[in-house]
């Protein structure tokens, strides 16, 4: 399985809770604050196939996103 990479682009994006989740060259999804809660939005794949990711890898990526957002 491809590792999930988390990217927080800027302090301004971090203020909105935006962290991008990437699998290779494809964006898997992103986090965003909604009603004060950090939510994870999963993007549709370009080819229409479903995303299949390792649960432990996704948990690590979500933890990493929370850590990166808090650093701003």
Q: What is the pLDDT along the chain (72 residues), one digit of tens a residue?
A: 689 999 999 999 999 999 999 999 999 999 999 999 999 999 999 999 999 999 999 999 999 999 999 999
For Cα atoms 16, 71, 19, give the angle at the middle one, nearest 5 degrees.
40
- pTM for this structure? 0.92
pLDDT at site 2: 81
CA distance readout (Å), 35 to 16, 17, 66: 11, 11, 17
Helices (H), the chain: 11-15, 55-71
For the chain, how many structural domains are there in total? 1
Nearest to residue 15, comparing CAs of 29, 30, 32? 32
Q: Where in the sequence is the domain holding 21, given as residue range(s)?
A: 4-71
What would the two tokens of residue 57 be? Answer: 């890898």
């Amino acid at each position: 399985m491809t590792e999930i990479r988390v990217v927080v682009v800027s302090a301004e994006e971090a203020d909105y809770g935006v962290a991008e989740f990437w699998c290779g060259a494809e964006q898997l999804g992103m986090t965003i604050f909604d009603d004060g809660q950090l939510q994870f939005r999963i993007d549709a794949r370009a080819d229409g196939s479903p995303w299949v990711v390792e649960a432990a890898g996704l948990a690590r990526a979500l933890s990493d996103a929370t850590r990166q957002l808090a650093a701003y």
